[in-house]
């Protein structure tokens, strides 16, 4: 969402819905160490507020503030710092509950949180500012006078349920996988009534349109971009948590599918979040900016080699296509002299890696046509990952099957890779998208 949020103002409030409600949604962060408002409600003047947010120390909290003090609050000791994972955030808020400690029940990935840095139990029958006739927002503060706050979500959200007036069991929304032990999403929970103020948004790409019977639709602020990345199938992105020395930090945006150099006369680089040692995988790189275009590098590298503080392209166990010198490949360090031809602004470079071949192969496609290819014996038996290098103010937009370049969704004729992902050009036969489902085909 990054610079995007959803907003709506409820109609008249129902007292029971202010006291009792269930909130459930899935979250994938794109940055850490920054504050994100996940959902909020308030009147814009700061007199009364309700929110679920991630703080800049990466803890998560739910709270009701009455204008002078917190009258209900749970802030975890646990931190959420995995930018590759989808988290299930679940809250049962019921101030009619006779047991004070049970008035706020907070769960992450199916497990109830019991260790809190701050804990204030609401008073019996406290009326919150959620499900009232005030501004409600998803992905932003609601208490700023501008109406969009200052804590915009940098990440992705999915399947946001607000059940007003009822407490729904968490097992309606997820379950533990009997094989992996992971908490997995249930996309069709049984909900008898959403209440008057209840809603369901961000389900299966249905954006801000309420999928409950209520038609409590939200308005989009900014540009809401649908992604194939979801709690059931996590796609590769650029690895926000991988860092060079501080003077060469990349800027990651658009759900970590876009990278920008910091402007210094130096190289910036990043690997992907997923690695593989078998299978055939395809992804696309768009040369969206003309700045430093000749120095753009895209390819694949042995993930172990990303731990060394040197240029990726100089490593044994790497293959990159570069626009330098008429279009070359760097293979295990040295550059070829073949002059394959360069990639222009807004061209798309497809990367196809076959780890099942007797000798692994790496092929590069320009706007759907084979452009350059090589055998890569040094990759055999290694876990490899997508990787990019840019110089100075260079940029790349990546599509690992997420279905968009930056904030622009792919339209017109698009393609899948072995039934997964959405791509601009037809992937080679037998190749798939680099995602958790793709890794398990």
- CA gap 35, 12 in Å, rounded: 31
Instruction: Give me the pLDDT at residue 2, please.
Output: 57
Look at residue 133 and tell me if it is in a domain: yes
Clarify whether residues 164 and 270 are in a common domain. no
Total structural domains in the chain? Answer: 2
SS3 state at 375: strand
Q: How many residues does the chain have?
A: 441
Residue 309 in any domain: the answer is yes
Sheet (strand 384-391) strand order: 267-271, 384-391, 297-302, 318-322, 328-331
* Segments forming the whole domain that contains residue 412: 246-439
How many whole angstroms separate alpha carbon 376 and alpha carbon 300?
Answer: 10
CA quadruple 368, 370, 371, 372: dihedral sign = positive
- Give pLDDT, residue 45: 58
| 69 found inside a domain | yes
Contact 162, 38 (CB under 8 A): no
> What is the per-residue pLDDT across 389-410, written as a single tens digit (0 to 9) for each?
999 999 999 999 999 998 899 9
Asked if residue 34 has pLDDT above 70, the reply is yes
Distances, alpha carbon 408 to alpha carbons 107, 130, 173, 435, in Å? 34, 33, 31, 20
Q: Any idea what the CATH number is for the domain that residue 417 is in?
A: 2.60.120.920
Domain contains 50: yes
Residue 379 lies in a domain: yes
In a domain, 228, yes or no: no
Do both 37 and 163 map to the same domain?
yes
Both 164 and 291 in a single domain? no
Does 60 share its domain with 147?
Answer: yes
Per the CB < 8 A criterion, the answer to whether 362 and 340 are in contact is: no
Together in a domain, 291 and 349: yes
What pTM, to 2 d.p., does this model score? 0.93
The pLDDT mean for the chain works out to: 93
Interval 369-381 mean pLDDT: 97
96 & 164 share domain: yes
Q: What is the pLDDT at residue 147?
A: 54
**Looking at the structure, do residues 172 and 257 belong to the same domain, yes or no?**
no
- Same domain for 186 and 49: yes
Give the confidence band of 46 by pLDDT, cuts at 50, 70, 90. low
Q: Indicate the residue among 187, 221, 255 that finishes a domain.
A: 221
Answer yes or no: do 214 and 265 share one domain.
no
* Per-residue pLDDT band at 145 (split at 50, 70, 90): very low
Residues 68 and 173 in one domain: yes
pLDDT in tens, 204-226: 777 899 999 999 999 998 888 89
State phi, psi for 365 to the nearest 5 degrees.
Answer: -120, 135
One domain, residues 307 and 368: yes
- 171 with 46, same domain? yes
CATH code for the domain in which residue 122 is found: 2.60.120.200
Residue 16 lies in a domain: yes
In a domain, 77, yes or no: yes
pLDDT band at 377 (very low <50, low <70, confident <90, very high): very high
């Amino acid at each position: 969402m990054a610079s995007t949020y959803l907003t709506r103002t409820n109609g008249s409030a129902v007292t029971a819905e202010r006291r009792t409600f269930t909130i459930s949604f899935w979250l994938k962060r794109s940055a850490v160490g920054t504050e994100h408002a996940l959902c909020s409600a308030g009147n814009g003047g700061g007199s009364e507020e309700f929110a679920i947010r991630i703080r800049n120390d990466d803890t998560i909290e739910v709270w009701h503030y009455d204008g002078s003090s917190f009258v209900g609050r749970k802030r975890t000791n646990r931190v959420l710092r995995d930018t590759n994972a989808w988290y299930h955030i679940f809250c049962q808020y019921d101030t009619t509950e006779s047991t004070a400690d049970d008035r706020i029940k907070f769960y992450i990935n199916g497990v109830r949180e019991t260790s809190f840095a701050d804990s204030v139990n609401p008073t019996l029958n406290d009326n919150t500012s959620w499900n009232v006739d005030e501004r409600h927002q998803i992905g932003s503060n609601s208490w700023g006078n501008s109406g969009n706050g200052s804590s915009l979500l940098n990440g992705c959200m999915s399947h946001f349920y607000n059940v007003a007036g009822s407490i729904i069991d968490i097992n309606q929304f997820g379950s533990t996988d009997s094989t992996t032990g992971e908490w997995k999403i249930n996309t069709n929970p049984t909900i008898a009534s959403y209440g008057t103020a209840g809603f369901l948004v961000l389900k299966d790409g249905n954006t801000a349109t309420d999928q409950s019977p209520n038609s409590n639709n939200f308005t989009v602020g900014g540009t809401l971009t649908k992604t194939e990345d979801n709690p059931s199938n996590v796609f590769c992105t650029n690895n926000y948590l991988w860092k060079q020395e501080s003077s060469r930090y990349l800027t990651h945006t658009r759900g970590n599918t876009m990278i920008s150099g910091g402007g210094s006369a130096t190289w910036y680089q990043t690997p992907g979040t997923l690695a593989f040692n078998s299978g055939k995988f395809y992804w696309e790189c768009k040369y969206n900016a003309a700045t430093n275009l000749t120095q753009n590098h895209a390819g694949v590298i042995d993930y172990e080699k990303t731990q060394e503080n040197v240029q990726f392209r100089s490593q044994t166990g790497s293959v990159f296509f570069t626009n330098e010198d008429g279009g070359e490949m760097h293979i295990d360090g040295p550059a070829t002299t073949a002059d394959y031809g360069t990639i222009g602004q807004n061209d798309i470079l497809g990367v196809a890696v076959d780890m099942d071949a007797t000798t692994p192969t790496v092929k590069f496609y320009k706007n759907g046509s084979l452009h350059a290819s090589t055998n890569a014996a040094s990759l055999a038996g290694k876990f490899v990952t997508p990787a990019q290098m840019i110089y100075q103010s260079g940029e790349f937009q990546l599509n690992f099957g997420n279905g968009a370049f930056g904030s622009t969704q792919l339209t017109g004729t698009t393609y899948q890779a072995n039934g997964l992902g959405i791509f601009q050009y037809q992937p080679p036969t037998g190749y798939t998208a680099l995602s958790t489902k793709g890794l398990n085909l």
